[in-house]
Amino acid sequence: MNHSEKLAIAAHLHVLLRRKTGRVTDTEWMASNGSYAREIARFARERAVLDQAPELIEWADRLDHCMQDTLAAEVRRSAREAEAARAAGQAAAPSANTAATGHSQARRYVGGIR
């Protein structure tokens, strides 16, 4: 599902939550971030039961369905980042020589913000 479709679903759920519960959400972040979308969908379902608003459940389900590919991509990205961090941690481990002198090229800040 493309971003504009996710954004439309997020915007519709935002309006419903605002009207039914007074909750203000970030529609752009909801359409982009799977964790935030999952939490908003959970909140919408909870409030749907409390406020007897079945349309909240319907739109929470739609949001969950459209965010499945985003959640899968986030899981894959976090796994890659964890692997890269583990590899960088092994590469950055100072040798006996650099530990004794206190100079490690891996820990030195290189570059700058321009």
Q: Which of 106, 102, 103, 105 is nearest to 88 (CA)?
A: 106
pTM: 0.63
Tell me what percent of the chain is helix, strand and coil, each rounded to the nearest 5.
Answer: 80, 0, 20
Model pLDDT for residues 17-42, shown as the tens digit of each residue: 999 999 999 999 999 988 899 999 99
pLDDT of residue 14: 96
The CA distance from 73 to 19, in Å, is: 32
Q: Residues of the chain whose pLDDT is less than 70?
A: 92-114
